[in-house]
Amino acid sequence: MDLVVKNGTIVTATESYRADIGISGETIALIKPDLSGDESLDATGMLVMPGGVDPHTHMELPLAGTVSADDFRTGTIASACGGTTTIIDFAIPGAGQTLRQALDIRLRQAEGKACVDYGLHMAMGTVSDDRLAEMDDMVSSGVPSFKLFMAYKGSLMVDDEALFRALLQAKTVGGLIAVHAENGDMLHSLITKYVAEGRKEPVWHALSHPPEAEAEATQRAVLLAGMSGAPLYVVHMSTAGALEALKAGRAKGLKVYGETCPQYLMLSREKYEEPNFEGAKYVMSPPLREKEDSEVLWKGLAGGDIAAVGTDHCPFNFVGQKDLGREDFSKIPNGMPGVETRLPLLYHFGVKAGRFSINRFVELVSTGPARLFGLLPRKGTIGLGADADLVIWDPKREHRLTKENLHMNVDYSPYEDVTVRGYPAMVLQRGKVLVRDNQFVGKVGAGQFLKRNPIHL
Ligand SMILES: [Zn+2]
């Protein structure tokens, strides 16, 4: 063995047990007690878990006249420091671009910068015969998931026919359709009305994105998926009504899967009332909801109705970016930092708070997303032949989630007052140490593009 992780408790989505992990080259070669190797890492008192898989990030995303503040370098350093060794980001074709062109552009942006392994989803704002025909090529190029937007009227929004056609095509080619489920017509009419009335403050963002618009679109997407016979992944679910619609589909046996994000579990609508425009820090779509919604989402995570926790990581600085919308809430760039804090928050407020088991935690932050998006068993678990992507987790380590203690390239933390117990002591990717004591010690650009498998759920 080149490297042995000794004396830790291995935790996967299904079991916890004491054993050493032997790493040969980049992969896990042996799992048994009392291994030895050229080098060893002592994990006494630690949990050893598969590296986190974040299925939803937006590094250097052009939006609202600016670009999200983390690029593939800073964003993946932050991701690694928080225990996430795989991200799935997005390629988004511009007007008139083919899917292939959009993929090539995005791959060039990540190349030489990414510090953890990464996959890409393909966004589809246009669903034409040509684009549908390209989906097969995307699947064979390792991009088997496609994101469609039911919101953002006038730019990325697709209508029901487009969504339905994409679902049918995905089923044929081994793809998975992911949807942003909010009723874009409803949102557009409310935003237009409030802007015309001179409503400026961030709270109007929330008021123009009512929970009913998300519940309705989720129900519609679930029913369309059912009619098509294709699986469906609903990103960033934020509200009880949407989860109700998803559960109804699941109860009928439909292959519909939900994602939520830590911000919808941790934060609620009062944030928009913060003075001095500070509410803009929390402007994203869907917006923060009521505390009752968060409780319902926690239960969905514990009970199995929500399959994955992503972050929708899309940070914008409060000064210089969020303030583009000081005079008009509809111009506030949508998004929040999160890629670094997902595991610590879910561990502290999920596992430690008794909401779900440590194994369910691993399922939600790693194994589940890896399975849904064609990465298992290479990523998302600790097994023979898997990439040696490991988080050596110190259950006693305390960490306050202030801006200074985090690595995301943004001028605020949404969790400034939060101290968590349980944090990565060390993070490995493919057998190399990436993070030690909250310092990135890996190599910039060593992250690899992951060609994912076709998805047949
Ligand atoms: Zn997103």
Count of C-beta atoms within a 10 Å radius of residue 67: 16
Buried b (16+ CB within 10 A) or exposed e, 301-336: bbeebbbbbbbbbbbbbeeebbbbbeeebbebbbbb
pLDDT value of residue 66: 96
Exposed/middle/buried for residue 38 (C-beta within 10 Å: 0-12, 13-18, 19+): exposed
pLDDT bracket for residue 378 (50, 70, 90)? very high
pLDDT-derived band of residue 147, with 50, 70 and 90 as boundaries? very high
Stretch 259-274: mean pLDDT, rounded? Answer: 98
Beta strands, E only, 195-305 = 232-234, 256-260
Distance 5 CA to ligand 1 centre (A): 35
pLDDT at 367: 98
Position 1 confidence tier, pLDDT thresholds 50, 70, 90:
very high
Average pLDDT over the chain, rounded to an integer: 98
Confidence tier at 439 by pLDDT (50, 70, 90): very high
User: Model confidence at 45, in pLDDT bands (50, 70, 90)?
Assistant: very high
- Ligand 1 centroid, distance to 229 Cα (angstroms): 25
Predicted confidence band of residue 92 (pLDDT cuts 50, 70, 90):
very high
Q: What is the C-alpha separation between 314 and 336, in angstroms, rounded?
A: 5
> Cα of 310 to ligand 1 centre, how many Å?
9
| Segments in 258-367 forming alpha helices (H) | 262-266, 291-303, 342-346, 358-362
Q: How far is the CA of 426 from the centre of ligand 1 (A)?
A: 28
Ligand 1 mean position to 299 CA, how many Å? 23
Q: What is the pLDDT of residue 440?
A: 98
DSSP, residue by residue, 90-112: EE---TT--HHHHHHHHHHHHTT
Q: How confident is the model at residue 390 (pLDDT cuts 50, 70, 90)?
A: very high
What is the whole-number distance in angstroms between the Cα of residue 285 and the centre of ligand 1? 8
pLDDT digits (tens, 9 = 90+) for 109-118: 999 999 999 9
Mean pLDDT for 415-440 is 98
Q: Please compute the mean of the pLDDT values over residues 284-288 and round it to a whole number.
A: 98
Average pLDDT estimate for 222-251: 98
- Contact between 451 and 141 (Cβ < 8 Å): yes
Query: How many angstroms does the Cα of residue 162 sit away from the middle of ligand 1?
Result: 20
Task: Please name every residue paired with 179 in a beta bridge, in sequence order, or none if there are none.
Answer: 148, 234
Percent of all residues in the chain with a pLDDT value above 70, rounded to a whole number: 100
Distance (angstroms) between ligand 1 centre and the Cα of 13 equals 25
207 Cα to the center of ligand 1, angstroms? 20
The Å distance, Cα 431 to ligand 1 centre, comes to: 30
Mean pLDDT within 82-106? 97
Ligand 1 mean position to 392 CA, how many Å? 28
How many Å apart are CA 134 and CA 132, to the nearest integer? 5
pLDDT tens track for 189-234: 999 999 999 999 999 999 999 999 999 999 999 999 999 999 999 9
Q: What is the pTM of this model?
A: 0.98
Q: Tell me how far the alpha carbon of residue 419 lies from the centroid of ligand 1, in angstroms.
A: 26
Query: Looking at residue 47, what is its pLDDT?
Result: 98
Q: If DSSP codes are grouped into helix, strand and coil, which group holds residue 353?
A: coil
Q: Distance from the CA of 149 to the center of ligand 1, in angstroms?
A: 10
- Strand residues in 282-418 grouped as ranges (E): 306-309, 390-400
How confident is the model over 299-357, as pLDDT tens digits? 999 999 999 999 999 999 999 999 999 999 999 999 999 999 999 999 999 999 999 99
Q: How far is the CA of 57 from the centre of ligand 1 (A)?
A: 6
Report residue 280's pLDDT band, with 50, 70 and 90 as the boundaries.
Answer: very high
**Closest by CA position to 329, among listed 365, 285, 298:** 285
Separation of CA 188 and ligand 1 centre (Å): 18
* Ligand 1 mean position, distance from CA 311 (Å): 8
pLDDT at 49: 98
- Span 441-445, average pLDDT: 98
pLDDT recorded at residue 446: 98
Dist. CA 89 → ligand 1 center (Å): 9
Ligand 1 centroid distance, CA of 58 (Å): 7
pLDDT at 181: 98
Q: How much distance in Å is there from the Cα of 338 to the middle of ligand 1?
A: 12
